Amino acid sequence: MKIIYSWLKEFVDFDWSPEELASRLTMTGLEIEGIERVGASFKGVIIGKVVSREKHPNADKLSVCRVDLGDGHPVQIVCGAPNVAAGQTVPVATAGAVLGADFTIKKATIRGQESNGMICSKSELGLEEGKSDGIWVLDESLTAGLDLASVLNIREDYVLEVAITANRGDALSHLGVARDVAALAGKTVRFPDLTVDPKYISKIQSSEKIKIELDSPDQGPVYAGWYLEGVTARPSPEWMQTRITQMGLRPRNILVDVTNYVMMELGQPLHAFDYDRLKSGTIRVKTTGPGPFTTLDSKERQLPDQALMICDGNDPVAVAGIMGGENSEVEDSTSRVLLESAWFNPSSVRKTAKKLGISTDSSYRFERGIDSGLQKTAALRAAKLIVENTGGKMAETPVLAVAKHLIQPELTLRFSQIKRILGIEIPKEKVHQILDSLGFVMIGENQTEMMVRVPAHRPDVTREIDLIEELIRIYGFHHVPEAETVSVSYTAEQKSSYSFDNKLRFMLTGAGFQEILCNSMIPEKDALLVTGKIVPILNPQSEEMGVLRPALAPGMLAIVQKNQNHGITDLRFFELGHCFTSVKSDRYSKIGNHQEEIRIGLMMTGQTVKSTWNSQPESSTLFHLKGTVLAVLDVFRLSEPVTVTAVDSEFYEDCLVLSTGNVQVGHIGKISKKVQSFFGLKQPVFIAELILDSLYSLPKHQPRYQELPKFLPVEKDMAFWVSRSVPAGEMVQSIQETNPGQISQVTVFDVFEDPKNQQNQKSVGFRMTLQNPEKTFTDQEIDGIMTAVRQMMEKKFNASLRGG
């Protein structure tokens, strides 16, 4: 909202510069976001009449003029403008006048001719951008010798842009801001003049002309109307137009302009009806059913059900508190006016405005709560401004209907609470001064507490805590000190995943994975690659952010692609983030249950080992990622072992599911060709996702010390020819089980297929670590173990010892 510096001064005395005012208001909670200098910046420019114009004897483009400055003794001025002519009324900057910041006009001699000042153009006066065509020719009715700035009411002024928080409906006017200024400056607010010259008052009472019926007392409890006649819809006076323009509105005619002017002055939205366009003689304020209605901006709008309407009898003529109707709007021919000044329920106005999708200066104020005691006064102020400037007459009294009295709450303020909440005491006289200047009425006080009545312009103040906020807002937070010590009562640290999350992060960065953060809102088509159980957003910003991510993979792949476009192809990423799925399979159901889980995703693509001067590069494979993921899982110390099962998947070409017990904790995969080409990726990508919620909630074991083996382990290698279809993992497990307690570890050291081998066989080499905690093995014992392994392999897997 905008506040005009000079206008504010009409309400309260203060001697702060615009900058100082801005910083003080900011420190009371009315944040000033900008100060704009407006109006003219000139002093000493007066109105003159060009009596004669002669060509300059020594210069072709100059004229020598004699100009009357009102004292009957015309002075000589040299002028360079081509449009200057005898008989014109012009602005003259005489010697001593100042234009702009510091251009002082002096007497001069120009090419031998004396010049006593300067005839000005609009741009020279700072009233026009760029260069004017010539001097500014004024209305000839203006009297010579008068000060131009005061005649046109153009002077240096400032417009302050104020950010008003949602609770401060009271500050949406000059009067409202003036109250805060008064409280800060220890001054009182001056109300605008409301006396009307009797010549503008007719014998008619408004109630003779219009009846008011309030059919919806909850939504529209207070309505004042003022009847005016003999008015004309002429342009507003120059000074009013200037202010309306500076406030960012376009002046129209005085009937409309005054309603805006008074709203910005006092905070009460007003509406002017053309009385002759109202047919029934009765204004009814009531809620209506849905239907079309054309507002005064000529737009046909669909009224929502239960919208509060102003009706002419039964015909709607305005959407209450939001916008008038085209059917009753004032026109150029209007001579009789009904001024509306009402109080409407804030949430009712808000609901209707939201449904209509419009916000007006009026609805903005009603939504935030306007002064419920101001209706008659505001109507009087507007009526006065109209009749005084158009010469019509206003009814002697307004018509006022009140269906429900709005009660001003009375609040108790305990002095002990000020200290309890703010940690400081505020002197009692200061408490009185602040509350008093903000309009609170003292109704009782004793040693420990006081009682105040909340003024009608502060509907946001309903509790003791609100009063405490008012006090510190004006008194200032700089009075609140910092303590020397921070003391805390002991409570155990609450459990959270924070520390373990970070442990995972540091492990993975150590393993060369870069942390990334991806948008949780992704395109629907990306999400559908993963699952049909997606969670759409009702009001997405764009299709690109239409649904919530069901997994981390789509976002990561999009990032891989972006990097690929920048020529970065060797990547290892991880992300820790929330994923969302719909529990119902019907993804279009509007209300469903949703599941949110926290996952950690790992991604590898391109070279995982770069070439060096002594080694070859190595490309990422599923097994690089598998190794990392299982190492990460090991850190969780799950009680149950992790099992890895190959499954079919559409998203992945090779996919492994990780589970412990019957709980799935994640998966690892190589993305399918389809997904790879969907994201436009040039090389295979490997992705793993672990469900952290599950991993955190599963039972863990505490490590227990095991005695270290006293004897050296023995390593033995054996290789077998076996059918290609036998999984290595199964063989490893079986070897381990042949001699429990004696084979402590089995690894695969070598796998190859001989292309000449016609039997579809592969060779798998196993390295076995034999370890007995009690003793060293004898050669015989070792042979026994090896034989057992060989026999088991032959029998169970139809394998034959290589080279055996």
Partner 1 sequence: MDENIRKVSEELDSAAPGLTHQEAIEAFRIRFLGRKGTVSALFEQLGTVPKEQRGQIGKQLNDLKNKAQGLIDAATAGQQNSVINTRTDLTLPGYPVQFGKLHPLTVVMNEMIEIFRFLGFSVASGPELEHDWYNFEALNFEHDHPARDMQDTYFIDRDLLLRTHTSPVQIRVMESQKPPIRSIMPGRVYRNEAVSARSYCLFHQLEGLLVDKNVSFVDLKTILLAFAREFFGPQTKIKLRPSFFPFTEPSAEVDVSCHLCHGKGCRVCKHTGWLEILGCGMVDPNVLKACNVDPEEYSGYAFGMGIDRIAMMRYGIDDIRLLWDNNQRFLQQF
Which of the residues 307 through 366 are near partner 1 (CB under 8 A)? 346-347, 350-351
Burial class (CB in 10 A: 0-12, 13-18, 19+), 685: buried
CB 209 within 8 Å of CB 339: no
755 lies in the binding site for partner 1 (CB under 8 A)? no
Span from 6-14, 334-342, 516-524, 700-708 in contact with partner 1 (CB under 8 A):
516-524
CB 382 within 8 Å of CB 338: no
292 lies in the binding site for partner 1 (CB under 8 A)? no
Measured from the CB atom, the residue of 481 and 740 that comes closer to partner 1 is: 481
27 lies in the binding site for partner 1 (CB under 8 A)? yes
Of 73, 332, 488, 740, the one binding partner 1 by CB under 8 A: 488
Measured from the CB atom, the residue of 214 and 547 that comes closer to partner 1 is: 547
CA atoms within 13 A on the CB side of 470: 29
Unique residue bearing structure tokens 């952290």:
692
Q: For residue 490, give every residue at least 6 positions away whose Cβ sits within 8 Å of its Cβ, in sequence order, or none.
A: none
519 lies in the binding site for partner 1 (CB under 8 A)? yes
Phi/psi at 26 (5° precision)? -55, -40
Of 58, 83, 165, 776, the one binding partner 1 by CB under 8 A: 165
CB 344 within 8 Å of CB 320: yes
Q: For residue 625, give every residue at least 6 positions away whose Cβ sits within 8 Å of its Cβ, in sequence order, or none.
A: 602, 604, 668, 686, 687, 688
684 lies in the binding site for partner 1 (CB under 8 A)? no
Measured from the CB atom, the residue of 598 and 644 that comes closer to partner 1 is: 598
CB atoms within 10 A of CB 419: 12
d(CA 183, CA 160): 19
746 lies in the binding site for partner 1 (CB under 8 A)? no
d(CA 192, CA 176): 13
Span from 33-41, 399-407, 471-479, 759-767 in contact with partner 1 (CB under 8 A):
471-479
Q: Which of 632, 624, 628 is nearest to 605 (CA)?
A: 624
Of 55, 106, 111, 419, the one binding partner 1 by CB under 8 A: 419
161 lies in the binding site for partner 1 (CB under 8 A)? no
Measured from the CB atom, the residue of 110 and 511 that comes closer to partner 1 is: 511
Q: For residue 437, give every residue at least 6 positions away whose Cβ sits within 8 Å of its Cβ, in sequence order, or none.
A: 179, 182, 183, 186, 187, 188, 189
Q: How far is the CB of 513 from partner 1 (least distance, A)?
A: 4
CB 401 within 8 Å of CB 278: no
Unique residue bearing structure tokens 């106005």:
349
Span from 82-90, 567-575, 651-659, 681-689 in contact with partner 1 (CB under 8 A):
567-575
367 lies in the binding site for partner 1 (CB under 8 A)? yes
Measured from the CB atom, the residue of 33 and 783 that comes closer to partner 1 is: 33
Span from 304-312, 323-331, 492-500, 744-752 in contact with partner 1 (CB under 8 A):
492-500
Measured from the CB atom, the residue of 436 and 466 that comes closer to partner 1 is: 466
Q: Which of 361, 283, 294 is nearest to 322 (CA)?
A: 361
Of 254, 521, 534, 687, the one binding partner 1 by CB under 8 A: 521
Of 130, 510, 703, 740, the one binding partner 1 by CB under 8 A: 510
Alpha-helical runs (H) found in 571-621: none
585 lies in the binding site for partner 1 (CB under 8 A)? no
463 lies in the binding site for partner 1 (CB under 8 A)? yes
Span from 7-15, 248-256, 565-573, 764-772 in contact with partner 1 (CB under 8 A):
565-573
Unique residue bearing structure tokens 């005016």:
228
Span from 61-69, 566-574, 654-662, 664-672 in contact with partner 1 (CB under 8 A):
566-574
Span from 46-54, 274-282, 509-517, 738-746 in contact with partner 1 (CB under 8 A):
509-517
Measured from the CB atom, the residue of 171 and 401 that comes closer to partner 1 is: 171
Q: Given the DSSP bridges, would you call strands 291-294 and 300-303 parallel, antiparallel or unpaired?
A: antiparallel
Interface map 615-654 toward partner 1 (x if CB under 8 A): x---------------------------------------
d(CA 240, CA 600): 64
Q: How far is the CB of 585 from partner 1 (least distance, A)?
A: 17
CB 688 within 8 Å of CB 625: yes
d(CA 439, CA 459): 12
Size of the site for partner 1 (CB under 8 A): 90
Burial class (CB in 10 A: 0-12, 13-18, 19+), 526: buried
Of 12, 29, 65, 628, the one binding partner 1 by CB under 8 A: 29
Q: How far is the CB of 566 from partner 1 (least distance, A)?
A: 6
Q: How far is the CB of 610 from partner 1 (least distance, A)?
A: 6
Q: How far is the CB of 649 from partner 1 (least distance, A)?
A: 25
User: Within 592-621, which residues bind partner 1 (CB under 8 A)?
Assistant: 592, 594, 596, 610, 612-615
d(CA 397, CA 555): 69
Q: How far is the CB of 541 from partner 1 (least distance, A)?
A: 6
Q: Which amino acid does the sequence have at 285?
A: V
Q: Where are the beta strands (DSSP E) in 427-570?
A: 441-445, 449-453, 514-515, 521-522, 535-536, 547-548
Token pair, residue 270, equals 């007003």
Q: Which of 629, 656, 757, 778 is nearest to 714 (CA)?
A: 778
Q: How far is the CB of 688 from partner 1 (least distance, A)?
A: 15
Q: How far is the CB of 748 from partner 1 (least distance, A)?
A: 26
Measured from the CB atom, the residue of 28 and 288 that comes closer to partner 1 is: 28
Unique residue bearing structure tokens 């003391």:
487
Measured from the CB atom, the residue of 149 and 307 that comes closer to partner 1 is: 307
Span from 241-249, 378-386, 505-513, 775-783 in contact with partner 1 (CB under 8 A):
505-513
580 lies in the binding site for partner 1 (CB under 8 A)? yes
Phi/psi at 701 (5° precision)? -115, 150
